[in-house]
Amino acid sequence: MTAKSKVLIVDDDPRVRGTLSDVLKLKGHAPLTAATGKEALERIETESPAVALIDLKLEDMSGLELMKEMRRRSLLDTACIIITGYTSQESVIEAMNLGAYSYMRKPYDMDQLLLTIRRAIEKGEAEERLRKSEERFRALFEQSRDAIYVTTRAGRFAGINQSMLDLFGYSREEMLELDVRRIYADAADRDTFQQEIEEKGSVKDYEVRFLKKDGAQMDCLLTATLRRAEDGSILGYQGVIRDITERKKAEEALRASEEFNSSLMKNAPIPLLVANPDSSLRYVNPALTQLTGFSPAELLGKKAPYPWGTEETLEKTGEGFEQAMRQGARRVEQLFQKKNGERFWVEISATPSRQKGQFNYYVANWLDITERKKAQQRLEDAFVDLTETVSRAMETRDPYTSGHQRKVAALARLVGEKLGLSADELQGLYIGSLLHDIGKISVPESILTRPGRLTAEEWSLIQVHASQGHEILKETTLPWPVAEMALHHHERLDGSGYPEGLSGDELSQEVRILGLCDVVEAMSSHRPYRPARSREEVLKEIEGGRGTKYDARVVEAMLEIIEGGALEPTQAKQ
C-alpha cells in the first residue's frame, strides 16, 4: 500500500463527510471530499483517488449516473464503493455491473468499511502493477523488430505485432481475418509444424517458407511455443518469425562462388596454392602436385619451408617470406626441386587476400619456366662461345699472344669472384676481358710479330689499339661496359696510363681488375721481344704498384690467387 492513499468521500451530508474524513485520516489515508456528483468528477479527474465512497443518492445526480459518467470519461481506475441508504437490490446490481468494487448498506460497520477500502486499494495497486507490466510487454511486443504472433489452435491470428504486418504486407484487419495456412508457401507445412510443436511443446529455428500477401516467398526461421489454458488444454501457439531470405541468398551465392573458385583452381593448368597467414598450406591444385611429385597429403598443412625448397630458397624463408606473403609477389623467379630431386625453375606471382583489413590467406601461382631458363642458358652459352671464337680468331694474327685474352678473362673472373661481384658483373667482366685487345686488329701484323724493341713510332701505333677497340665495340648493345673496358684497360690509377691518362675514380671497377690481370698475364708470357718474367718479378711489379698504379683491393685479390697457385706465372711459356 502506498504511504497515503487518496480516498474520495462523495456525500451530500457534511456530517458524514466530516466523520468519515476524520476516521480515514486517523487510519493513514488521505481523504478528499465532494458534496455533489459534479464536484466528485472534478476531484477524480484532478486527484485520481484510489477509492471513491459514493452515496447512491446525491443532489445533482445519482451515484449510478456518476459511475456512468466516470466510465464515459475512463475514470474507473478509481475503485468505487457504493453506499446505499435503502434497500435497492436493482441499484446494487447495476452498480456492480458498471464495475463498482463493492457496496455497503447504511448503517454500516466502520471496521467493515475500512477493511473494504483497504482491499480496494490493494486490488487497485495490484492491477496497476499488472497493467504496468503488461504495458512493458506490450511495448516489447509492438516494438520488436522480429515478427511476433499469437494464433489459435484452429488457425486464426489472435495477436500480431507491427513487424509481423510489415513482413507479410497485410493490414491488421486483413491478417486477423486470414486463415493461418494462407501464409505458408505450402499449407501442409502448417500441419507438420502443428504436429511437431504439440509433440515437443516448442520449436526452435524451424525453417519454413512463407508467402507474403503479394505472393513473394521468403525463407524464415520460426521459433514458437504452445499456449495452454489453465486446465492444460492447448489454446494455440505463439511465435517469432525471422526472415532469412537475404542470408540464404548470400549463403547460396557464397557456396556457388566457392564451388566456382575451387573448380577453377582444380582445373587450372598452372600450379596454384593457397596458404594461411602462418604459411601452412590450405590448398594445392592438381597441376602443382603433378609438377612437384608431392601428393596433397604430403603438402597440406605444411608450413614454410615447403618440401620443394632448395638450399637457395630455404634461406629466404622466415621473416622475409612472411613479409612477401603479406605484400604479395610479382614474377619472382625461384629454383625448386621435385620429390625425385629434379630441379625446376618457376616464376611465382602471389596475392594476399584480406577480409575486413585482416590478412586472410595467400594465393600463389607458379609458371614453370624451366624450359625458358634452359633456352636462356643455351643462348648465353652460345654467346660466350661466339665471343671466345672471335677472341681466338683475332689472336691468330699474333701467334705470340695466342690465348692472352682468354687467360686474362679467366683470371679477371677469379679476381671478380674474390671481390664478391654479382653473377651478371662477372659475366660482363669476362666478356669485356675476352675482347679487350680487339683493337689490335688494325695494328699491322709486322709490328705485332716483330721481335726486338719497338721504335717510338711503332709503339704509338700499338697504343692506338685501345681507342680502336672502343670504336669497334661502342656500337654493340651488350648490357656491360665492354667498349669502355677496351678503351681504358691501359689506364692506371695514378694517371700514368694511356690513352687518356685517367686517374682515381675515373677508372671503373672492371677496368681496375682487367688492367691488373692484363699486366700479370702479359708478364707471365713470352713475347717476341722478351722472355716470360719470373714469378718474383711479377710479384714485385704488382706489390710495387699497390695503391698507386693498381687498385689495392684488386692487388690483394690477385696476390691471394697467385699464392693459391691458381696462376702459374710461367704458364704461357710453352
Beta strands in 19-128 (DSSP E): 30-34, 51-55, 79-84, 102-105
| Distance in Å, CB of 365 to Fe ion, minimum | 51
Fill in the amino acid letter for 426. Answer: L
| Distance in Å, CB of 439 to Fe ion, minimum | 8
Q: Cell digits for 231?
A: 486446465
Which window, 155-163, 177-185, 333-341, 437-445, contacts Fe ion (CB under 5 A)?
437-445
Mask: binding to Fe ion, 261-300, rule CB under 5 A, as x and -? Answer: ----------------------------------------
Q: Cell digits for 466?
A: 685501345
CA nearest to 306, candidates 333, 285, 337, 349: 337
380-419 residues in contact with Fe ion (CB under 5 A) are none
Distance CA 308, CA 314 (A): 9
In the complex with Fe ion, the residue whose CB is nearer, 55 or 437, is 437
Indicate the residue whose CB is closest to Fe ion. Answer: 437
Residue 437 within binding range of Fe ion, rule CB under 5 A = yes
| Distance in Å, CB of 324 to Fe ion, minimum | 47
- Cα 82 from chain centre: 76
Which window, 56-64, 345-353, 435-443, 444-452, contacts Fe ion (CB under 5 A)?
435-443
Residue 521 within binding range of Fe ion, rule CB under 5 A = no
In the complex with Fe ion, the residue whose CB is nearer, 40 or 532, is 532
**Residue 335 is inside which H or E element, if any?**
strand 329-337
| Distance in Å, CB of 574 to Fe ion, minimum | 22
3-state secondary structure 362-391: EEEEEEECHHHHHHHHHHHHHHHHHHHHHH
Number of residues that bind Fe ion (CB under 5 A): 1
| Distance in Å, CB of 518 to Fe ion, minimum | 6
In the complex with Fe ion, the residue whose CB is nearer, 239 or 515, is 515
In the complex with Fe ion, the residue whose CB is nearer, 11 or 437, is 437
CA nearest to 516, candidates 536, 539, 532, 487: 539
Instruction: Answer whether 98's CB lies under 8 Å from 75's CB.
Output: no
In the complex with Fe ion, the residue whose CB is nearer, 190 or 413, is 413
| Distance in Å, CB of 458 to Fe ion, minimum | 15
CA angle (441 as vertex; 486, 468 as ends), nearest 5: 40
CA nearest to 437, candidates 382, 385, 400, 477: 400
Which window, 29-37, 48-56, 326-334, 430-438, contacts Fe ion (CB under 5 A)?
430-438
Residue 567 DSSP one-character state: S
Which window, 300-308, 390-398, 436-444, 496-504, contacts Fe ion (CB under 5 A)?
436-444
| Distance in Å, CB of 565 to Fe ion, minimum | 26
Binding site for Fe ion (CB under 5 A): 437
